[in-house]
Structure 1
Amino acid sequence: MAARTLQGLVVAAASGHSDRVAVTYDDGSPMTADDVVFLASPLTFDPSVVDMFLALSSGAQLLVVPSVLKQTPGRLARRLFQRHKTTVMQVTPTLLTRFGQRTLKQEVLSSASPLRVLALGGEACPPPALLRSWRQEHNRTSVYNIYGITEVSCWACCHRIPESLLQSPAHAESFVPLGAPLMDTRVEVRDDEGGLVTEGEGQVFIGGEERVCLLDLEETVVPGTMRASGDWVRVRGEELEYLGRRDRLVKRHGKRVNLDSLQQLILGLPQVDACAVCLHEGLRLLAFVVPSRNQAVQQRRDPPEPPPPSGTEGTADGTDGRLRRLILDQLSLLLPSHSVPDTLLLIPALLLTPHGKVDTEALVRTFQTQRKRLCPSPGDASNLRQAVELLWQLAVCGQDVLGLPEDVPVEENSSFLSSGGDSLKALRLCEDILTATGAASADLLEVLLDGTFSDVLSHVERAARGATSEKGPLKRRSDVPSAAPGKRERKQSAAAEERWAVKVVRRAGEVVDVSIPETTVPDDARKQNPSRGGGVLDLSLSWASDTGRCVDASPLLLVRYRGEQSPQEGRATVIIGSHSHRIQALDLLSGSLVWERVLGGRIEASAAVSPCGSLVVVGCYDSCVYFLCASSGDTRWIFKTGDAVKSSPAVDPVSGLVMVGSHDGSVYALDPEDSGEVLWSYRRDAPFFSSPNGSTGRVLIGSVDGNICCLSSAGELMWEFLTNGPVFSSPCVWADHRRVLCGSHDGCLYCLSADGSLVWSFQTPGKVFSSPCVFDGSAVGRRGALVGLVSTDGTVWILDGRDGRTLASFTLKGELFSSPLVWRRSLVVGCRDDFVYCLKLAVKDEMTKE
């Protein structure tokens, strides 16, 4: 049926600017006289005309409520669904979330709800998982995603969300499509040059021969005119996935951030009822979150946190502080660092415009009001120090400026970087300090990166007084006394450094000597009198270190010793990464922290060391391979791949090349001495999670397609061995390169000959994601090689290398994806219970004597 012009009126578009449009309708809408339509929008918003016409054209009732009633969601729900039995409701998702999850489930979308049709439009449709969480079992409401723009008379597309998607969590759909065009409506997706897009991303254009829309002073329009929507979508076959407004696709720190996608992701967290995300002043990423009432109740059942530092203010109590950190912690695991909000505010409800959309300007004013609490009084030196110290603590702890920090004093000689900061945190801290103190300084960032807390405070005091901004002599990190050994970089004089040699022990039992040749058999082991059978072996706990996040990465051991010493007399340091984005250096004897860096994403890959022994190489979820200084953790250079790097780098001792696999399906060979030049790459159709082993002059690597592959140094496939599951484990080579060990998702550890044929296999009760470790058994009085192995069920195994027979085992509390490392009689491994464990390997009769 042809569309007819109902009336001409002035309506306010989503941008807040007034437009004169002609509203059209289709009088074939499926309405009856028994329906009750809720007029949710004000008369200045074009969906109100749709509500009125739906009621008028079908003889249904139109329910109009006072504006003040809309501000009290509980009363509004009772009025709509208990008293007037509303059957049709057309609202924005934000307005719907004002009801809260409890009211949504017990009133709006309950099993007995009178609501027959719920149409969600004007904003991005919530993800299916969130919609399911709002519905009570046996609810019969039909839910629609409607889409359109004011410039083409309101709605243009409609999609009824399938009942199966709203009922079953088994569906994998993560978005709700815009739906099919309405009658006489044409929808196109065009790229930046105006070309039609059939697959991929582009902007939505809406129009049609019969869709008449007159804007502003227009009196006529060319038939078939297509209006740009400003909305970006992804074409997926016959469906359009809404990505967000074009002006909500921003660049931050050089990286692209989709604010609407970020908002949807936060909405998917179980602790969140509603949220809004915006970029303040082009720099600070703000997230305003309405917490779930169920989560708030649960948080209040937990033990209270310690009170905030004396003299500080916060916007919430300890309960809100824990909930805020819980949400930020989850986001840090799900997002790259540039997409994690700088500030997360917990608010009771989102502020709305009269049209039912998020009032971003009002929310930002709330943020600005809260920030003023941190500003010191003019000329008050004690308050200025308090503000700078508070902001420093917040930045180091990874909390937002409105959270409650831990009560940890800042030492005068503390360095921001060695205390847990990084360059991105330094930028945020610089802005916070200048905003809070009212000071102006172009040099503060440099002082933060190179100086101490005392330097920063003195610089800010001078800048706040309007004094010269010239920098005085800074206390560089090398001049800082090691008063806090857990957070300081331990440095030696240049003369002492020249006399140090390095032995590197890493995953898969690889041992590399730098500077001084040394055999892989420990000196004290040679003094043993190994027997063929030996005593009964046993594993016991030596120490455990809490990292705060899951540890899937595998440890790397650096043993530094003087030329006249044996390696066993040297200082052993464990280097390991965590899901917390941190890579740490820990003392092997005590587990104490030597240095720490925060990278751009999760670290699941274990590190490697360059042939010169001065660079630590590690892959990261941010698609980068980092080359860090082994003694301090400072960045030397970075190589960017096409996707996340879960593979651990391998170093070829012959050529010195660093080889690493990426989730982009490529294996890269990098020259560490030539700033990351790619010498060759090998690509398969399946991605690489396994890490390459190049100790034989060939490259051994496992593939997701179940194969253990052997490549030549030129990247040609030599042989492959097929297992019964994906291979995430990395190959281990031993016995003069005559044996290859590698685990598989099928739960087996495979021992292969140099030509790829099977020698023996060992079946675990779990899966073998990590790499085995081969070490000399003479350290515990046994002849031949022993194999250290872990399986995902939490078991650590010691096997006989000749036949795969079990010699000892130890069970930890969490899952194990990290690969074990053995040095002398210590076995180190990371665990998914957030701890790094050091186990002691000994003969049982020796333990009895002890």
Structure 2
Amino acid sequence: MAFHVGCTLILTPDSFRSEPHRMQKAIEEFRPTIAQFTSIVFEMLPSPDSLLSATTSLRILLIGGSHFPLEFINSIRSSDNGTRVFNVYGVTEVSCWATCYEVEIGCSEVLIGDPIDGTTLEIDSDGQLILGGPRQCYVNGQKAEKHETGDRIERRAERGLKITGRMDRLVKHKGIRVCLDHLTEISIREHPLTYFIHFKNRNLIQFISGPTTSNDFPYTKTIELNQNSSVLVTVIRVPELPINTSGKIDENELKKICDQYFGSNGIRELKKLIEKKMNIRLEEVMDKSFVSIGINSLLAAELSIHFGKQQDEVMRKMLDDQITIRQILNSFDDFQEKETRKKSNDMIEIVQKRQPKMKWAVDLHKCIDGNMLIIRDTMLVCASHSGIIVAVNPKTGDCLWRTNCGVRFECTPILVNEEIVIGCKGRGLCFLNSKSGELLSIQEYEEGFGIRSECAFDEEFIYFTTENGYFHAVDPKNRRSVFRESIEKRGGGTSVGPLVFSDNSIFATTTSGCLVKIIKRPTFHISFTKQFGPIFSKPLILDGNSLLITSVHGVLTIVNAENGKSKDTISLDNENCFCSPMAINEHLLVATQSGKCVLLNTVPKLQISKVFQFDLPGISFVKPLKLIGSYKNSHELLMMSKNGWILFAHLRNLNQFENVTAYPISNKEVFTSPEIIENENERIVLIAGRDDYLRAFYF
């Protein structure tokens, strides 16, 4: 059509279907006048309302391929929007679209509309729509006169025809005929992004797309079909509904998710579900019956789904107070084998999930290597190699300001009074107004050498180390250096910034392994210099008189902060460390480049307590672990792997990882630490990586 009328045709890669932010970016960049989407792809765009606003470039929007999202369109469409929106219907065998129907503002019902020239519409005795006419494709070398669509149709008096569902989506469930598309219509007001399947001809499963947490479990509910019948449905929440290459829901992927929950691999989900529902520790009641812990017939129906073909038999056993929980769990053919293997294998199993739903994304045009700066949960500042530095509202993604400084940023910005200060490669420090983003100045301190690591600020001076190994203290009032001293005679810089200690002294390290203490009273001077192996992580403050230094080669050393003397040291054989350990009480948790977590005691001396290895190929930790929260004897952790996977886990009693889930976030390397914003009803994780994007995901 584009060539026929002389338009420019914009073709987007298939990958854009699963990366809607890229689709949105292409629309904003090229500003098309005609666009065509499947409904599921359109609903997943980060800002679909912008396409139906008063200022949109779109004159015509075509939506087809699946159920038309009428309520969603009406909710985002501006009253002064001039875009003509059409529901288009058709199948491949009739050369794409066969009918079209214009959806006007305030429309209450969507029909399939009028046939396009060359197409005829018929309805057979089963209520199936038949497409006829000369617009037919050759299939297997033959051109049919008519084509069965597989879609069920109802007449709406004189208004036209409406699709009520697919012939193959009409299933028989426990003696009741159920149309899966009818279930979607019933549920779509409560959950706009929803889809039903009949799993293994036994269970009705509803998938809901939206923010997920590590505590989300399947649950059951009853849906009334009419006054006389209802069905029990299991609801599974997913970050986003999977899409196939045609832009439609991928049922095969949904079935894989069901296999994870209800197949032979679902024992962990079942155990977690029981513990959540009954508020118990399952290990403590294994020799009791389900009845004794409060399981009723409705809960038994919900839990027995996990046993597949054995569901009916297991449900009866669950309601028998003479049969123990252990006996019923052993109904899994491989349950005992799994339990035995789990005890003998130190490998920690990980539940891999799909990429979570994205809330917003900002393109910084080149790699992001520096961490984000969060200011009072209302401003996030981030910079990239492109020289662009942005400030956004982390909760909404709204851009507060955006400045191109014409330099290369590789480090984290800091807040100094009312200014953003960040080092840049080959130049010096950039000073920007934190409210407007105005570039106030670029100050050079070493000609030809810049700053590639984060600065530090103690409310009096700004501290940093330059690429040629000089430590500086700068007065933020006039931006002049008040102290300059070489701390690396070989001229090497540092990958981590200085550390302000509790006594107002400053510690600086270099990549070659130097640790330097600087005293600023009565005048600036170097107190001591110590040499270690290469250092790529910031020193860790253990107490008022101790620092932990971690070298790349896996050597951990506790030093006296007063004089630099070594108190204790230990080597993690064959493990490289690029990030600072996490201190938990009198223990250290060290994340290694090989993807392991090493637990050490610090009292009475440094000693390896346990080594944890995760069953996820290719993971590598180069950024510190984050402690999200502590609950009695359990610590919730966030771990960012360099290969783009983010992991959530619970460390119980400092000796066991539980509920470890992993999500793919980026297809490129990530060298930054994620940040978390928690609202009353949602958790947002902010991540920046080497794919040029700063993103927010629902968790």
Higher strand proportion (structure 1 or 2):
2
The bucket for the TM-score relative to the shorter chain is 0.3 to 0.5
Relative to its length, the structure with more helix (as a share) is 1
Q: So what's the TM-score if we normalise by structure 2? A: 0.42
TM-score with structure 1 setting the length: 0.35
